[in-house]
Amino acid sequence: MKKATIQKYGDLDVIKLIETETPTLTKKQVLVKVKAAALNPKDILVRKGKFKQLTGRKFPQGIGYDFAGIIEDGNGHSFKKGDKVFGMVNGMQGRCCAQFVNVDVNELYKMPDNLSFEAAAGIPLAGQTALQAIRDKGQLSKGQKICINGASGGVGTLAIQVAKELGGIITTISSDKNLAFCKSFGAAETLSYNQINILDSKNKFDIFFDVFGNYNYQKVAKILTPKGKYITTVPKAAIVKEQFFNLFRKKKASMVVVKSNKADLKWFYDKIVANKIQAVVDGVFPLEDIQKAQKYIESKRAKGKVILIT
């Protein structure tokens, strides 16, 4: 089968498509014929060696964490050959940018029938990140105010929709050109970082979800309600310290670390089939053009998700 790999840590030129064996399965895994896989900033960070301690020094390494496809081998589990599924593999061993992927049966779910494979592939990682940040870390309740920074990207566009489903009143921060785009997913207020500094806001937020990760708790605290929460996606030293100081104050700071699971994939399945949440695809590239697709993600200008088809 064809599989995208990195041959060492580095720039785009370390990416290489190779021919390799179809993966073997552990008892817990099923084999999926991948139809589409999503790109994520994690792919770029791993390629550049930013998580070396977790990804090790053995090469080649696979690429990609979320996918949509068809069951090739159900391996004794409830899925049968031909079932459409979508999911995300946990851990640091990316491998979904390939023609087949071995996936723990708890890390996938049946795919919503009203989506294409390309659209479905973009949901699992970005969507579960948004859900686990806003519902679990933030515990957003109906009528609460949430500000989403970096609202037009892969995680952001789903975060707006998740917050809306949970009953939040949403403010988004994006560039000028994406104001209407953010509005279209249900934001009540759309602000541009080209025009305003959110830290000057008179509004107070119950949650500030820093998807883009260029703020920190210390800066944001003054625009949080007395029990407000700052949640980031970006693992920086400051957030570890701030999580410790949570013990001594009412306002809280935390970081989301996405973990794929059946229940959360089902949450998206249900919302998507009910047409409550839509997938947002910016671009679709053939697997052979993975370098071009990663270059686009690296520009940090993606509107929604960038997808590869195998």
- Which residues here bind ligand NAP, judged by CB under 6 A? 40-42, 125-126, 129, 149-150, 152-156, 173-175, 178, 193, 211-214, 233-234, 256-258, 297, 300-303
Amino acid identity for residue 113 in this structure: D
Nearer to ligand NAP, 33 or 137 (CB): 137
CB of 281 to ligand NAP, least distance (A): 12
What gap in Å lies between CA 189 and CA 146, rounded to an integer?
10
Nearer to ligand NAP, 31 or 155 (CB): 155
Q: By C-alpha distance, which of 132, 113, 126 is closest to 152?
A: 126
CB of 230 to ligand NAP, least distance (A): 14
CB of 213 to ligand NAP, least distance (A): 5
Nearer to ligand NAP, 71 or 173 (CB): 173
Nearer to ligand NAP, 113 or 176 (CB): 176
CB of 257 to ligand NAP, least distance (A): 5
What gap in Å lies between CA 240 and CA 176, rounded to an integer?
32
CB of 288 to ligand NAP, least distance (A): 21
The alpha carbon torsion through 164, 166, 170, 174 (nearest 10 deg) reads -70
Residue 297 near residue 306, CB atoms below 8 Å: yes
Nearer to ligand NAP, 51 or 83 (CB): 51
- Residue with nearest beta carbon to ligand NAP: 153
CB of 258 to ligand NAP, least distance (A): 4
Nearer to ligand NAP, 136 or 289 (CB): 136
Q: By C-alpha distance, which of 26, 38, 29, 35 is closest to 63?
A: 38
